A and B are shown apart, each in its own frame.
Chain A
């Protein structure tokens, strides 16, 4: 822990704030939330403000929950959007699932090169083993696991794996029996919502999602209405739409 004696004590309220901020940083660093250099990273999306340090934690496991097929697709789309920022140009990411429904060519709409994804279609028995094994490999940029049940003990194992390797994990729980407590850093729930098109023209617009950040460690839960504009997340704003939607891309 920080040596509190080193911090100069002032009576002023501002100084107190400063101390608190400094101590908070110490706590974050102990909890392995890395302070990222603002100059080098680009913001992923508006939901980043909810996380400590205002940055999406990498080298951690994030949890997503969905119950309907439609929303599962929305969740996978949302994860793909985040992957786009993490993977970089050449990194491989691994999708583990028992019954794969992902259509590889569609990943291109989220800026991911589908040839850089390795799909593992494994039985339910081996799925957690495969996710853990993949999370331990530093050569992987991210791991997405699609399963239904994840106990606290299992999530703890995954968290320990990423603490060693700094790989980012996404656990997408489809139709879980209970929303039990896990050791994951955050829990998202993504739902599809109505898309909007330019000037109310007929047709389907960009993917729109209701993103609820239900739980977040050391952050503020929140909820946003987001859209994927073909290259990044942005908050839904009807006025902005009117200017920015090119007709080319209708849906992802």
Chain B
């Protein structure tokens, strides 16, 4: 079968992507630039800026001189390659073989694919409309060879589809640069007056080799189809998924557990080979009646320890209702993270301990929920309720030290409880106080320690805290909200000292 190739040229790949992310940039001329030898060089131009005469490789200052309202964004290294990779993977819906071509193109091997779209025209049209719908400015061409398709997509001006066998004719009027030549060769050809391919294509090969080197001949051969050009297709990452079909429907808990163990072993083996660990795993059971039973676990740290993961699942396997029986088990890991090999960690006991602790927390989280687990770090606030904050992970370390210089109770009530007090003189600690109908006589007291509300967070009265000890030897943390100026202030019990 004749081979057919499609070349896609993204004329403004990076800027189009930027515009997709920020639609408001559609009407604004902007460029993406990166520093080079102490100057900012334009790396990508959007169509509006391009129309005003700004091109890739220009110094940003020159661009600004042409177009004062030009916006400049920093280049993110490697972004174009990642984008092309994703686009090439997306293109796999059009052909099984898609490859990245240079910094701004994709090559598809469309041999035997177009008839599914009932014709090459419909095939290209579909591809083009879909890519344009994403917002990419693309040019597409289809020809018998990669080289020809590339040349037509960049330099062709007549028709994007080159009939089988007609690619040589289509190439003839194009400039030499269409052959993907190095800059100096194209320039030399130009200087010699060889302004299109027609003018040198029939020259003796020996002469061409002597004057322009082997690469011109090779590119020519690629374009004409006399040599087959290698293509490196992208291979999308296989999803982390393991399947186990059953001959007989499984109904028993033991059966489910065996299936789960089997799948976990397989998945963990693959993860170990790729130095990865999973954060989320979903175990799906496809029932005979079409229902899907699924249980999910999350781990605090990436893990590929099948025993540990099995224990986590074990807490949930009771939720699976096999009903008539399960015919297919699927284990998926939608979220995986890199996990360094535990080779050197085997000697490191503290790492091992941390892993054990993380595994314990995973087990607890599965049963009691992640919200029930707390770890606290100091927070720089005087207001007691805000003096600590929740740590996000086990690795979080305090950024500041805990304060020790002020007395703080070991028990703090979640809500201060109002008390009735008798005070001898304003600003003195109470003589007695009544909490929940129990009268306490104050024997000793310390204070006050005034803590102001942080007005930028919350408005409210300040608190004057007193540490008091009653006649039974019990110690309390009381406070008065506000002062005596206008009305009788309220008193509260806020905590118990040890």
Chain A residues within 8 Å of B, Cβ to Cβ: 68-74, 76-78, 80, 90, 92, 100-110, 113-115, 117-123, 126, 129-130, 133-134, 137-140, 191-195, 197, 202-204, 207-209, 228, 248-252
Which residue of chain A has its CB nearest to the CB of B354? Answer: A139
With a 10 A CB-CB cut-off, give which of B376, B496, B498 has the most chain A CB atoms: B498
Q: 6 A-B contacts, Cβ less than 8 Å apart?
A: A74-B474, A103-B384, A119-B373, A119-B375, A193-B473, A249-B407
Which residue of chain A has its CB nearest to the CB of B359? Answer: A137
Q: Once the chains bind, are A105 and B408 in contact (CB under 8 Å)?
A: yes
Q: Once the chains bind, are B496 and A70 in contact (CB under 8 Å)?
A: yes
Q: Once the chains bind, are A137 and B360 in contact (CB under 8 Å)?
A: yes
Selected from A78, A121, A123, A137, the residue in CB contact (under 8 A) with B498 is A78
- B361 interface residue per 8 A CB criterion: yes
B392-412 Cβ-contact flags toward A at 8 Å (1 or 0) = 000011100011110111111
Which residue of chain A has its CB nearest to the CB of B375? Answer: A118
Besides the known contacts A106-B409, A114-B378, A120-B374, 12 further A-B residue pairs in the complex with CB atoms under 8 A apart: A101-B412, A103-B408, A106-B408, A115-B376, A117-B375, A137-B356, A139-B354, A139-B357, A194-B444, A204-B444, A204-B467, A251-B407
Q: Once the chains bind, are A203 and B408 in contact (CB under 8 Å)?
A: no
Q: Once the chains bind, are B388 and A140 in contact (CB under 8 Å)?
A: no
Q: Once the chains bind, are A130 and B388 in contact (CB under 8 Å)?
A: no
Contacts of A117 in B (CB 8 A): 375-376
- B91 interface residue per 8 A CB criterion: no
Contacts of A252 in B (CB 8 A): 407-408, 410, 497-498
Contacts of B363 in A (CB 8 A): 133
CB neighbors of A among B323-356 (8 A): 350, 352-356
- B391 interface residue per 8 A CB criterion: yes
- B463 interface residue per 8 A CB criterion: no
Which residue of chain A has its CB nearest to the CB of B361? Answer: A118
Which residue of chain A has its CB nearest to the CB of B376? Answer: A104
Contacts of B468 in A (CB 8 A): 204
Q: Once the chains bind, are B443 and A251 in contact (CB under 8 Å)?
A: no
Q: Once the chains bind, are A107 and B410 in contact (CB under 8 Å)?
A: yes
Q: Once the chains bind, are B407 and A114 in contact (CB under 8 Å)?
A: no
Contacts of B496 in A (CB 8 A): 69-70, 72-73
- B414 interface residue per 8 A CB criterion: yes
Contacts of B412 in A (CB 8 A): 101-103, 106
Contacts of A203 in B (CB 8 A): 444-446
User: Nearest Cβ distance between residue A45 and chain B, in whole angstroms?
Assistant: 14
Selected from B354, B403, B411, B467, the residue in CB contact (under 8 A) with A251 is B467
Q: Once the chains bind, are B368 and A109 in contact (CB under 8 Å)?
A: no
Q: Once the chains bind, are B357 and A69 in contact (CB under 8 Å)?
A: no
- B58 interface residue per 8 A CB criterion: no
Selected from B364, B378, B495, the residue in CB contact (under 8 A) with A103 is B495
Q: A108-B402, A115-B397, A121-B372 are in contact. Are A73 and B446 (CB under 8 A)?
A: no
User: Nearest Cβ distance between residue A147 and chain B, in whole angstroms?
Assistant: 14
With the chains together, A237 CA to B476 CA distance in Å? 23
Q: Once the chains bind, are B414 and A120 in contact (CB under 8 Å)?
A: no
* Interface residue SS majority, chain B: mixed
Q: Once the chains bind, are B407 and A105 in contact (CB under 8 Å)?
A: no
Q: Once the chains bind, are A80 and B498 in contact (CB under 8 Å)?
A: yes
With the chains together, A248 CA to B373 CA distance in Å? 34
Chain B residues within 8 Å of A, Cβ to Cβ: 350, 352-357, 359-361, 363-364, 367-368, 372-378, 384, 387-388, 391, 396-398, 402-405, 407-414, 443-446, 467-469, 472-476, 495-498
Q: Once the chains bind, are B411 and A103 in contact (CB under 8 Å)?
A: yes
Q: Once the chains bind, are A77 and B473 in contact (CB under 8 Å)?
A: no
Q: A115-B375, A133-B364 are in contact. Are A106 and B353 (CB under 8 A)?
A: no
Contacts of A92 in B (CB 8 A): 357
Q: Once the chains bind, are B474 and A192 in contact (CB under 8 Å)?
A: yes
Q: Once the chains bind, are A228 and B498 in contact (CB under 8 Å)?
A: yes
Q: Once the chains bind, are B357 and A102 in contact (CB under 8 Å)?
A: no
With the chains together, A73 CA to B352 CA distance in Å? 35
Which residue of chain B has its CB nearest to the CB of A123? Answer: B368
Which residue of chain B has its CB nearest to the CB of A127? Answer: B368
User: Nearest Cβ distance between residue A206 and chain B, in whole angstroms?
Assistant: 10
Q: Once the chains bind, are B445 and A130 in contact (CB under 8 Å)?
A: no
Selected from A78, A123, A129, A250, the residue in CB contact (under 8 A) with B467 is A250
Q: Once the chains bind, are A73 and B410 in contact (CB under 8 Å)?
A: yes
With the chains together, A105 CA to B468 CA distance in Å? 19
Q: Once the chains bind, are A114 and B357 in contact (CB under 8 Å)?
A: no
With the chains together, A204 CA to B409 CA distance in Å? 13
Q: Once the chains bind, are A133 and B360 in contact (CB under 8 Å)?
A: yes
Contacts of A72 in B (CB 8 A): 411, 496
With a 10 A CB-CB cut-off, give which of B384, B410, B495, B497 has the most chain A CB atoms: B410
With the chains together, A62 CA to B467 CA distance in Å? 31
User: Nearest Cβ distance between residue A135 and chain B, in whole angstroms?
Assistant: 10
With the chains together, A114 CA to B248 CA distance in Å? 54
Which residue of chain A has its CB nearest to the CB of B396? Answer: A115
Contacts of A134 in B (CB 8 A): 360, 364
Q: Once the chains bind, are A250 and B372 in contact (CB under 8 Å)?
A: no
With the chains together, A104 CA to B467 CA distance in Å? 18
